[in-house]
Amino acid sequence: MIDRYLTPEMKLLWSEANRYRAWLKVELGAMQAQGELGEVPSGAHAELSALTEADPLDEAFAVRVAEIENVTRHDIVAFTTALSERYGEAARFVHHGLTSTDVVDTAQNLLLDEALGIIIADVERLRGVCRAQAVTYKHTPTIGRTHGIHAEPMTFGLKFLNWMTALDRDLERLSAARERVRVVMLSGSVGTYAHVSPEVEEQVARAWGWQPAPVTNQTLARDRHAEVLAALAIFGTTLEKISVEIRHLQRSEVREAMEPFGKGQKGSSSMPHKKNPILTENVTGMSRLLRGYLVTALENVALWHERDISHSSAERVILPDATGLASYAARRLSGVLENLVVFPDRMLKNLNDLGGLVFSQRVLHLLIDEAGLGREAAYAIVQRNALQSWESGEGLRDLLRADPENPLSEEQLEEAFNLEWYLREVDHLYRRFGL
Domains along the chain?
1-96 (1.10.275.10), 99-347 (1.20.200.10), 357-416 (1.10.40.30)
At residue 218, the pLDDT reads: 87
Among residues 147, 273, 305, 428, the one annotated as catalytic is 147
> pLDDT tens-digit profile of 128-141?
999 999 999 999 99
Ranges of the chain whose pLDDT falls below 50: none
- Alpha carbons 28 and 91: distance in angstroms, whole number: 10
DSSP symbol at 252:
T
337 closest CA partner among 259, 428, 435, 255: 259
Active site residue 268: yes
Among residues 42, 268, 310, 409, the one annotated as catalytic is 268
The residue type of 5 is: Y
34 closest CA partner among 79, 102, 104, 93: 93
- Alpha carbons 354 and 394: distance in angstroms, whole number: 9
Coil, helix or strand for 271? coil
> pLDDT tens-digit profile of 221-280?
999 999 999 999 999 999 999 999 999 999 999 999 999 988 888 887 788 888 899 899
pTM of the full structure: 0.94
At residue 80, the pLDDT reads: 96
113 closest CA partner among 228, 231, 233: 228
At residue 267, the pLDDT reads: 81
Handedness of CA 36, 42, 48, 50 (dihedral sign): positive
